[in-house]
Amino acid sequence: MKNRTIKILLFVSLAFNIAFLGGGVFRFMQMRKFHPIHKRIKNEKARNFMQQRKEMGGPLLREFHQAKDDFMKALAQENINEEMLLVKVDSLIAKQIAMEREISKSMIELRRQLSPEEAKDVFGKLRKWMQSPEHFERKDKHPEPHRRFKRD
């Protein structure tokens, strides 16, 4: 092969390798934003507790999403029964209150286990995460968005 052909193949190969690696690095940097908050917190006690809390809260969250789905289905029906809708709204609100109560109790329990410095760090990061725009936007930008409602 000619020397010029080898150089062209080398540059094409390098360009593809750089593009491939650059895409991987870019994807890694973008995905870092979407890691759950319990993976960002460095305190081991808090991380373990939040992971356990996530596993325990699953049934309550599923019940809440199911009640929300039922309400949306009732709204989509052709004939509206307002009494039934109000009953579904009450059920939805009750499930949300139960879920929030359980989350709050678990946060109080976590606070009991942490020192004041650890609590300031952990809850400061949680507060910052909850106020950040990526907390609200991440569902739309995540490559595998969380599906709250089942597709028919």
Q: What is the pLDDT of residues 45-78, one digit of tens each?
A: 676 777 777 776 678 888 888 989 989 998 888 8
Closest by alpha carbon to 98, among 71, 58, 60?
A: 60
Q: Cβ neighbours of residue 75 under 8 Å, at least 6 residues apart?
A: 85
Identify whether the C-beta of residue 92 lies closer than 8 Å to the C-beta of residue 64.
yes
Place of tokens 């360009």: 15
| Structure-model confidence comparison of residues 140 and 107, the more confident one | 107
Closest-CA residue to 33 (of 128, 152, 138, 150): 138
Binning pLDDT at 50, 70 and 90, where does residue 90 land? very high
Mean pLDDT of the chain: 77
Write the burial class of residue 103 (CB in 10 Å: 0-12 exposed, 13-18 middle, 19+ buried): middle
Residue 140 pLDDT greater than 50, yes or no: no
Dihedral of CA 28/33/35/39: which sign?
positive
- The rounded percent of the chain whose pLDDT value lies above 90 is 8
